[in-house]
Amino acid sequence: MKYRHYRRPVRRYSAVVLRSKLKSERNQKMGKVLAYAGSLAAVFCAVYISWNALAGFFSTSERFNLREIKILGAKNVSKSEIAALLPFRQGDNLFDIWVSEAERNLSQCKPELENISVRRGWQKVTVSFDERVPIAYVFIDGEKLGVDVKNKIFPLRGGFTKKSLPKIACSDAEQRMAVIKFIVQYKSLAKDSFKDTVGVGIEQDGCIYFDLAEGPRVMWGVPDRDILKEKYGKLKYVLEDSKAKFSRLEYVNLNFFEQGRIIIKPRVNGISSLSQAKAVS
């Protein structure tokens, strides 16, 4: 038996019917797009209205008003002067407070402070900081200012104005940093006797010198951490030994320490002379 191959008849549209069908499909797609857009607009409006309502509630409700400003770390500066520099007051809304602005104000107006932090809490703001501790002082335009181990210059406040500090006799920032590094190392060895050091300076060749209260100028030489302890021990011995021999020393020169020599210059009857300089092995 033979079977005839069945061919499905092709459905043909007239040009008018085809255009009408395409237009209908485009209208359906456009309707879906408009429906989605309308839904998104409705959601956006709902979120916007809700957000404004919440923002209005947060900004007007007394529950979110600042009731306490807590200041931590004030020792030589007063809490009242710190509070006066803050760009907010008790009763302000917590959400209107810009903590970064407060930290920037304190940093610019109070160089004697470091590690400044302003943090919001429930109905309170906590301001914390550390006061810079001077390791020495400098004179700038006739004003006595403190300088810390980071080479930061700041006004001396409170108890720091009466603290025994050595004067750094150089204005160049790089040289001052070299002096500060030496002071830190030397102070760790001298401990309590460091208070007798009244001034520290540096020569152009990098050699350190310092003055002792009612004592000689010590020409330390180039700082060398490897022989610092040995050098300090010898200096201490020379100063103690000279008390029994001389009324006062003009200077102690340690520049030739590594060659095994220390040069001392005594002051006799208040008069010094180059001919009096002596070498001590």
CATH code (residue 67): 3.10.20.310
Task: Indicate whether 110 and 31 sit together in one domain.
Answer: no
Q: Is residue 145 assigned to a domain? A: yes
- Segments forming the whole domain that contains residue 272: 136-280
| Confidence (pTM) | 0.72
Task: Indicate whether 141 and 267 sit together in one domain.
Answer: yes
Task: Indicate whether 152 and 267 sit together in one domain.
Answer: yes
Task: Indicate whether 269 and 211 sit together in one domain.
Answer: yes
Task: Indicate whether 113 and 155 sit together in one domain.
Answer: no
Q: d(Cα 166, Cα 186) in Å, to the nearest integer?
A: 12
Spatial CA neighbour of 208 closest among 180, 250, 187 = 180
Choose one of 131, 159, 183: the last residue of a domain: 131
Supply the pLDDT for residue 11. Answer: 54
Q: pLDDT, tens digit, for every residue of 95-148?
A: 888 899 999 999 999 999 999 999 998 899 999 999 999 999 999 998 999 999
Task: Indicate whether 80 and 111 sit together in one domain.
Answer: yes
Tell me the pLDDT band of 170, cut-offs 50, 70 and 90. confident
Task: Indicate whether 190 and 206 sit together in one domain.
Answer: yes
Task: Indicate whether 102 and 189 sit together in one domain.
Answer: no
Cα-based distances in Å from 222 to 33, 148, 172, 199, 211: 81, 22, 18, 17, 16
Q: Is residue 21 assigned to a domain? A: yes
Choose one of 74, 107, 131: the last residue of a domain: 131
Tell me the pLDDT band of 38, cut-offs 50, 70 and 90. confident
Helices (H) and strands (E) in the chain, counts: 5, 14
Task: Indicate whether 47 and 103 sit together in one domain.
Answer: no
Q: Is residue 52 assigned to a domain? A: yes
Q: d(Cα 164, Cα 160) in Å, to the nearest integer?
A: 8
Q: pLDDT, tens digit, for every residue of 78-99?
A: 999 999 999 999 988 888 888 9
DSSP code of residue 90: T
Task: Indicate whether 276 and 173 sit together in one domain.
Answer: yes
Q: What is the CATH number of the domain that holds 168?
A: 3.40.50
Over range 20-46, report the average pLDDT.
Answer: 70
Q: pLDDT, tens digit, for every residue of 216-234?
A: 999 999 988 888 999 999 9
Q: Is residue 1 assigned to a domain? A: no
The pLDDT > 70 percentage for the chain reads 78
Domains in the chain: how many in total? 3
Task: Indicate whether 45 and 69 sit together in one domain.
Answer: no
Higher pLDDT, 267 or 186: 186
Task: Indicate whether 56 and 105 sit together in one domain.
Answer: no
